[in-house]
């Protein structure tokens, strides 16, 4: 397993972190990324590929003698890129189309959870021509009630309705204004779960499972979890809301039963299974599954592991993984997203970024929406950078992340100043 040529699909902070981790492997030959960003330029060759054109990806894999493709985002997975690459003989880290339905269809994920006996919110799902029935069902439930688009909606397909008016409003929007778009061809109505969220990432070849430490994301744009949802404004690990025993329970009563249920349906899941959990007073319950690493969770997971990430991905892709925990640092990691002014709404691009280079050894900067213009680093997306600090305590990791953020400047830079605070509060109250 030497001199493996690897192609990473994607261009966000998650993919920069994956590229950074894979570039450190002694088994790496050439590293390619499509499209990548300004941060990946130094460690990977960017390929100009239309990822939705699977044949062009297959051709490029052949041309560059790629041994392993690592697919970062959900869209190409749900669209079946992994299936087509595998059919062409390439090893792929990432589930095929049928397995990616765990993220691509919430109704499918719910049916798998039900069959596997996995704890999750009570729910019903409805087709496009049953929306009035769905509304009536939602109005009959205890408030708040959650209304979700079945399909992929870039994190914007979930509405928590706290009043009957809000239930009417979302159904009126779906019926009359095409809210949720194509993702609403089915709608899931589910019970609201009270608790604290956490995410668990399991690398799997369908049979064997290796877990990362639990992570906590910060989905909303505003301090204290206020305002609209984003892709994620920061993450830290390990999240103390998930104890070691609870992680064990999550593996045994959620992750393994789901993989076994998928297998019994003839679907083998390869890649990383992202379990979004609500830690309720009755224990962990599943909010959602995703078929990929989280962004920005990946930016704290990659520096936290001692594993050779290329070997790990290759073993998962080729059915050669072993059970167990991933070897991970005892340190704490905190990643803070710096975003463009206006995100998650509209924002301007092309702002010059300074200060990313002079960081101490306990601070890492992963690029998300950046590009290089005439040798200058500029903003090119909503989420721009993720600054990760590490330390012997969570407090220290947070301080280092924010000291890195302080060094960096671009016009309109926005970040939340409370990333990791929930963890600190929990430690204080323990
Ligand atoms: P999802 O796309 O399913 O992860 O939902 C996005 C966010 O909505 C989650 O991260 C939660 O914060 C919230 N959410 C979704 N479903 C529920 C639920 N049943 N109860 C409480 N909050 C939820
Ligand atoms: N950070 C949340 C996600 O990647 O879905």
In this structure, are 68 and 216 located in the same domain?
Answer: no
**Is 59 a residue whose pLDDT tops 90?**
yes
**Is 352 a residue whose pLDDT tops 90?**
yes
In this structure, are 83 and 179 located in the same domain?
Answer: no
3-state secondary structure (DSSP) of residue 156: coil
Q: Is position 300 within any domain?
A: yes
In this structure, are 159 and 30 located in the same domain?
Answer: no
Q: Is position 102 within any domain?
A: no
Q: Is position 105 within any domain?
A: no
Classify strands 376-379 and 4-10 as parallel, antiparallel or unpaired.
unpaired
Write the residue with the smallest CA distance to atom 5 of ligand 2: 294
What confidence score (pLDDT) does residue 359 get?
81
Instruction: Compute the average pLDDT of residues 243-250.
Output: 96
Q: Is position 16 within any domain?
A: yes
Nearest 5°: the CA angle 336, 341, 343 is 75
Q: What is the CATH number of the domain that holds 175?
A: 3.30.1490.20
Q: Is position 115 within any domain?
A: no
What confidence score (pLDDT) does residue 183 get?
79
What confidence score (pLDDT) does residue 226 get?
95
Summarize pLDDT for 73-108 with one digit per residue, the tens.
Answer: 999 999 999 999 999 999 999 999 999 999 999 999
pLDDT bracket for residue 184 (50, 70, 90): confident
pLDDT bracket for residue 49 (50, 70, 90): very high
Between residues 179 and 345, which one has the greater pLDDT? 345
Query: Does the beta carbon of 103 lie inside 6 Å of ligand 1?
Result: no
Q: How would you label 179-197 residue by residue, b for 16+ Cβ within 10 Å and e otherwise?
A: bbeebbebbbbbeebebeb
Q: Is position 116 within any domain?
A: no
What confidence score (pLDDT) does residue 376 get?
96
In this structure, are 23 and 54 located in the same domain?
Answer: yes
Distance 380 CA to ligand 2 centre (A): 19
| Nearest in space to 135 (alpha carbons), one of 166, 109, 112, 111 | 166
Q: Is position 12 within any domain?
A: yes
Write the residue with the smallest CA distance to atom 2 of ligand 2: 294
Query: Does the beta carbon of 295 lie inside 6 Å of ligand 2?
Result: yes
Write the residue with the smallest CA distance to atom 3 of ligand 2: 294
Write the residue with the smallest CA distance to atom 4 of ligand 2: 294
What confidence score (pLDDT) does residue 427 get?
87
In this structure, are 185 and 204 located in the same domain?
Answer: no
In this structure, are 127 and 92 located in the same domain?
Answer: no
Classify strands 4-10 and 28-35 as parallel, antiparallel or unpaired.
parallel
Give the domain-ending residue among 164, 191, 218.
Answer: 191
In this structure, are 227 and 305 located in the same domain?
Answer: yes
In the block, residue with structure tokens 């409805």: 126
Query: Does the beta carbon of 197 lie inside 6 Å of ligand 1?
Result: yes
Give the domain-ending residue among 160, 176, 191.
Answer: 191
What confidence score (pLDDT) does residue 185 get?
85
**Is 178 a residue whose pLDDT tops 90?**
no
The token pair at 247 is: 């992680």
**Is 429 a residue whose pLDDT tops 90?**
no
Q: Is position 347 within any domain?
A: yes
In this structure, are 275 and 135 located in the same domain?
Answer: no
In this structure, are 176 and 322 located in the same domain?
Answer: no
In this structure, are 328 and 303 located in the same domain?
Answer: yes
3-state secondary structure (DSSP) of residue 248: helix
The token pair at 228 is: 């609209």
In this structure, are 252 and 153 located in the same domain?
Answer: no
What confidence score (pLDDT) does residue 155 get?
74
Q: What range does the domain containing 182 cover?
A: 123-191
pLDDT bracket for residue 398 (50, 70, 90): very high
What confidence score (pLDDT) does residue 147 get?
96
CA distance 254 to 259: 9
- Residue 344 preceded by cis peptide, ω within 30: yes
Summarize pLDDT for 297-325 with one digit per residue, the tens.
Answer: 999 999 999 999 999 999 999 999 999 88
**Is 358 a residue whose pLDDT tops 80?**
no
Number of domains present in the structure of the chain: 3
pLDDT bracket for residue 14 (50, 70, 90): very high
**Is 1 a residue whose pLDDT tops 80?**
no
CA distance 129 to 139: 18
In this structure, are 227 and 360 located in the same domain?
Answer: yes
**Is 430 a residue whose pLDDT tops 80?**
no
């Amino acid at each position: 397993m030497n001199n493996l040529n690897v192609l990473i699909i994607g261009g966000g902070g998650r993919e920069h972190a994956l590229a950074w981790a894979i570039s450190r492997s002694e088994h790496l030959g050439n590293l390619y990324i499509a499209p990548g960003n300004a941060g990946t330029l130094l460690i990977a060759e960017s390929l100009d590929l239309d990822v939705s054109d699977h044949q062009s990806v297959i051709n490029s894999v052949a041309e560059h003698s790629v041994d392993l493709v690592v697919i970062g985002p959900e869209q190409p997975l749900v669209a079946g890129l992994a299936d087509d690459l595998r059919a062409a003989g390439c090893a792929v880290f990432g589930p095929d189309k049928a397995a990616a339905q765990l993220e691509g269809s919430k109704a499918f994920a719910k049916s798998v959870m039900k069959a596997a006996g996995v704890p999750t919110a009570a729910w019903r799902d409805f087709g496009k021509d049953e929306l009035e029935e769905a509304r009536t069902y939602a109005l009959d439930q205890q408030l708040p009630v959650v209304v979700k688009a079945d399909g992929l909606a870039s994190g914007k397909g979930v509405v928590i309705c706290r009043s009957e008016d809000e239930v009417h409003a979302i159904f009126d929007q779906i019926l009359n204004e095409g809210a949720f778009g194509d993702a609403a061809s089915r709608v899931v109505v589910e019970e609201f779960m009270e608790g604290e969220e956490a995410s668990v990432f399991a690398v799997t070849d369908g049979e064997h499972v290796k877990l990362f430490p639990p992570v906590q994301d910060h989905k909303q744009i505003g301090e204290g979890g206020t305002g609209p949802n984003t892709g994620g404004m920061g993450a830290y690990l390990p999240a103390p809301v998930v104890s070691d025993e609870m992680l064990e329970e999550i593996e045994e009563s959620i992750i393994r039963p789901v993989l076994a249920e998928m297998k019994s349906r003839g679907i083998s899941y390869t890649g990383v299974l992202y379990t979004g959990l609500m830690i309720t007073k009755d224990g962990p319950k599943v909010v959602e599954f995703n078929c990929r690493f989280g962004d920005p969770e990946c930016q704290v997971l990659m520096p936290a592991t001692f594993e050779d990430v290329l070997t790990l991905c290759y073993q998962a892709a080729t059915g050669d993984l072993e059970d167990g925990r991933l070897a991970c640092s005892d340190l704490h990691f905190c990643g803070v997203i710096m975003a463009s002014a206006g995100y998650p709404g509209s924002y301007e691009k092309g702002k010059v970024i300074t200060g990313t280079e002079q960081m101490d050894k306990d601070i890492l900067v992963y690029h998300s929406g950046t590009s290089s213009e005439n040798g200058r680093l500029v903003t090119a997306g909503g989420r721009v950078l993720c600054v990760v600090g590490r330390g012997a305590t969570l407090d220290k990791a947070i301080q280092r992340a924010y000291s890195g953020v302080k060094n960096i400047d671009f016009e309109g830079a926005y970040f939340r100043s409370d990333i990791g605070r929930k963890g600190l509060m929990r430690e204080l109250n323990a």
